[in-house]
Each structure stands twice: as C-alpha cells, then as structure tokens.
Homo-oligomer: A and B are copies of this chain.
C-alpha cells in the first residue's frame, strides 16, 4: 500500500511540474474536455435530441477530430472538414441521382463510382503539394462520399441524411470554434513569431560565450558555460516545426498584435537565414571541442578581433531578436553590425600579411578557419538584419 501512496504522490508531483512547465497543454486539454461535454448535452436534453437523433453523434466526432492545439490548426481542419463534407455529400447525392436512372444496375454503378472516386481522391492525397494543407480534407471527402453513397442505397433518405450530418457538424464546429478562440487561445502565428525571435536570440547567446570559451588559457573547461553554448543546436533542426507552424498560421485570422497582414513568407526567409548562420556556428562549435588544440600563442594573435566580432554579432542578434519580439523597427542593431564588419575587414587584412611567421601550416589552419567562419557569420548576421528590416 505504501508503494501505491508513493506512486500517487510521485504522479501528483510530476503533474504539478508539468503544469508549471507548460500550462498551455493543461488548458488545452481542459478546453477539449469542455467542448465535448457541451456537445454531448445534445444527447442528455430531450428537446435537443428530438431534432437530430443519432446524427448528433457527428457533432461529438467533429469536436474530437477537429480540435487541435493551435487556432490555425483547428481552423485548417475545421474548414477542410466542412468543405469536404459539403462536396462529398453533394457528389454522393449526384451519384445517387445518376444511379437511380439505371434501375436494376443501380448497385453496380454505385460500386463503380465508389471505386473510382476513392482511387482518384487517394491518388490526389499522395501529391506532396496538397498534402500539407488539404490532406485531411481529401480524407473526409472520401469518407463522406463513401458513407453516404453506400448507406444511402439502403435508406433512401440521402438528402436528409446529408443535411443532418452537415448541421450537426456545424454545431460541433462552432462549439469548437468558440472555445478554441475565446478561452485562452493558442495562436500558431504567435508561436511562430516567438520561435523565430528565440532562434535568433539563441545564436546571439552562443556568440556571446564563444570568445571567452575559445580563447581561454586555462585547461579546465567550465561545464555550465558549455551547456549554455549548446542552446543553438535546436535551431539546426527547427525547419520542420517552422514549416508546420507557418502552415497553421496561414489559416488564422488577423488578431491582436498581428492585426495587419503578416508577411509570413518573410518570417520563413528570416528563419532559413538564421539556420544558415546556425550551420556555421555548428562548425565553429566543432573547433571549441576539437582534439587538435592549437597552441595558445597562435590563437592569441587573432583573439582581440575575433572576440570583438563575436560579441558585436551577439549584440546585433539580440537586438534583432528583441526587435522581432516587440515588432518595432530595430535600427539599434546596425551600429553593432558595422563594428563587426570593421573588425572582420581588419582581420582579413591582417591575415593577409603573414601573421604567424615560423609556424607550421597545420597549426594555423584551424585558427584561420575559425577566423573565416566568424567573418562568414558577420555577413550572415548582416543578411538576417536586412531581412528583418524589410
């Protein structure tokens, strides 16, 4: 029994931690529960049940299947589902009308139409262009068409059935819509916007620590500092998340601070420039951990300029990130970029005249590579800034 008590307490602690970490998930879950319960009232109250009967089931199904985490995703699924049901139902009714002329062969014609429509729609579903935004719609189209065509053969009430299904879906959809939008909404657009800003900030944090980490003379590496440097790694793999979010964000109506037309494509561009910069930073990070550490004296020659470049880029990126977060024009990043560019130019010219006499080339190469990577990062930063200003 003690074990069980321990486990329950453990689970409660975990739950508490989860609530603190991401309250949005909890709220989302409660919202879904609330919507389903509201819709199921249709069954419990007799006067509501009279109108729809068993079809009220479709309202519950709509809520369960459409309610997604973000508003954009919910809208996307809802619109897909609505239109697909409409089109699927209409096609099914048309197929019935056509088949009814055939008399005896009605069921053969219906069977053939199910076969061909399902095959063609499945084929369209596989096309990568449509998959991202309309996959769910195609699925629901197939489902509605097949269900109505097939079961309609029995019931002879195709139109009434389609009508009932549509209105129950509308009820389920509007309950979902209201609860999704008016109770603590999760906007995919806001998440996307924050992700872009956060990613730029992460690069800034890396560059802030880089100078100190690479040019330190003591052997003992600071493990804590190390961990803070690894923050940028999530940027390398954020492409998929960004794509998903932007797809959802495009479904969302304007709202709040996003009142005006959001240039989502511009954000995508900033995101991919950020990632390009992150790839360079990844190479740079390789040199911090490299086995073949070059002697401190060699590194010292470029220490000042490199530290300068890295910290100026860091300031610039942080300013840009703040600018995106607050949605203000951020010219405050420009002087930092200018300083970083000047340092890069200086470094280039000093590399030119043989900075390290009497040193083996194999020792110089990694240091020189670090220098040229930093120079590239400066120009990446400038690109990001240009993109943000647009």
Given A30-B119, A123-B29, A365-B369, check contact A111 B64 (CB 8 Å): no
| Residue A288 lies at the interface, judged by CB distance under 8 Å to chain B | no
Bound: A194/B32 CA distance, A: 41
Stretch at the interface among A2-10, A148-156, A248-256: A148-156
0/1 per residue, A36-51, Cβ < 8 Å to B?
1100110110000100
Stretch at the interface among A79-87, A216-224, A346-354: A346-354
A172 to chain B, nearest CB (A): 11
Given A29-B120, A33-B115, A123-B26, check contact A44 B146 (CB 8 Å): no
**B355, A114: Cβ atoms under 8 Å?**
no
Bound: A36/B139 CA distance, A: 13
Bound: A151/B60 CA distance, A: 10
0/1 per residue, A353-389, Cβ < 8 Å to B?
1110000111011101100100000000000000000
Bound: A65/B33 CA distance, A: 24
Q: Which chain B residues border A142 with CB–CB below 8 Å?
A: 36, 64
**B365, A361: Cβ atoms under 8 Å?**
no
A372 to chain B, nearest CB (A): 6
**A361, B351: Cβ atoms under 8 Å?**
yes
Question: Which of A25, A43, A240, A282: most chain B Cβ within 10 A?
Answer: A43
Bound: A41/B115 CA distance, A: 12
| Residue A193 lies at the interface, judged by CB distance under 8 Å to chain B | no
**A143, B240: Cβ atoms under 8 Å?**
no
**B361, A116: Cβ atoms under 8 Å?**
no
**A36, B146: Cβ atoms under 8 Å?**
yes
| Residue A279 lies at the interface, judged by CB distance under 8 Å to chain B | yes
Kindly report how many copies of this chain are found in the complex they form together: 2
**B44, A122: Cβ atoms under 8 Å?**
no
Bound: A283/B348 CA distance, A: 20
Given A43-B151, A139-B64, A151-B57, check contact A362 B369 (CB 8 Å): no
Q: Which chain B residues border A351 with CB–CB below 8 Å?
A: 361-362, 365
Bound: A143/B58 CA distance, A: 11
Question: Which of A114, A115, A116, A147: most chain B Cβ within 10 A?
Answer: A115
Q: Which chain B residues border A56 with CB–CB below 8 Å?
A: 151
Bound: A237/B275 CA distance, A: 13
Bound: A56/B153 CA distance, A: 13
| Residue A170 lies at the interface, judged by CB distance under 8 Å to chain B | no
Given A64-B143, A143-B61, check contact A33 B114 (CB 8 Å): yes
Bound: A368/B368 CA distance, A: 10
Interface residues of A (CB under 8 A from B): 25-26, 28-30, 32-34, 36-37, 40-41, 43-44, 49, 54, 56-57, 60-61, 64-65, 69, 107, 110-111, 114-120, 122-123, 126, 139, 142-143, 146-147, 149-151, 153-154, 237, 239-240, 279, 282-283, 348, 351-355, 360-362, 364-366, 368-369, 372
A-B pairs, 8 with minimum CB distance? A33-B119, A29-B123, A29-B122, A33-B115, A40-B150, A33-B118, A29-B119, A32-B122
Can you sample 24 A-B contacts with CB below 8 Å?
A25-B126, A30-B119, A33-B114, A33-B118, A33-B122, A36-B115, A36-B142, A37-B114, A37-B115, A40-B111, A40-B149, A41-B111, A43-B150, A43-B154, A44-B153, A57-B150, A61-B143, A64-B143, A69-B126, A279-B279, A279-B282, A283-B283, A365-B369, A365-B372
